[in-house]
Amino acid sequence: MDPQFLAIDITPENFARELAGARTFVDFRDLGQLLSMGLAKGGSLDNAVIIHNGAMVCKEGLRYPNEIVRHKILDIVGDLFLCGRRVRGHVIAIKPGHHRNVELAGMMLARIRRG
C-alpha cells in the first residue's frame, strides 16, 4: 500500500465531516488470529476495510480515497483523548498505532501533572 498523508485541523466540523466515517482496517492475513483472540467482534464489511493482496475489500467501496490515514488520525485523536484534556498542538505521525499513541498520551499526561 502506498503511503498516505493528510493535514487537517481538528475542529468539531472537520472531525464529523472528514474523520468520523473512516473505518478501521485489517490485513486479511491477520483476520483469523484476531478472531481467535476474541477480537474484531462486531467487525464486518459494513464497518471495516479488509486489505487482501494489496487490494482494499469493502462492501460499498472506500468512503474517502485516503480512508486508511483518516482512520489512523481518528485513532490518534481518540488515544490522545486519554489525557483528559484538549490537546492543542501539531502532531506528525509516521506509522502510528495504538501502542505508540497511548505511550505518547502517557508522556503528555505526566508532563501535565508535573505542571
Contact 93, 75 (CB under 8 A): no
pLDDT at 18: 97
Active site residue 98: yes
Which distant-in-sequence residues (6+ apart) come within 8 Å of 83 by Cβ? 105, 108, 109, 112
Domain boundaries, the chain: 12-114
Model confidence pLDDT, tens digit, residues 47-94: 889 899 888 888 888 999 999 999 999 999 999 998 888 888 999 999
Q: Name the residue type at position 48.
A: A
Annotated active-site residue in 52, 71, 90, 98 = 98
Model confidence pLDDT, tens digit, residues 25-52: 988 888 888 888 888 787 777 788 989 9
Domain range 12-114, its CATH number among 3.30.479.30, 3.30.1700.10, 3.40.50.300, 3.30.470.10: 3.30.1700.10
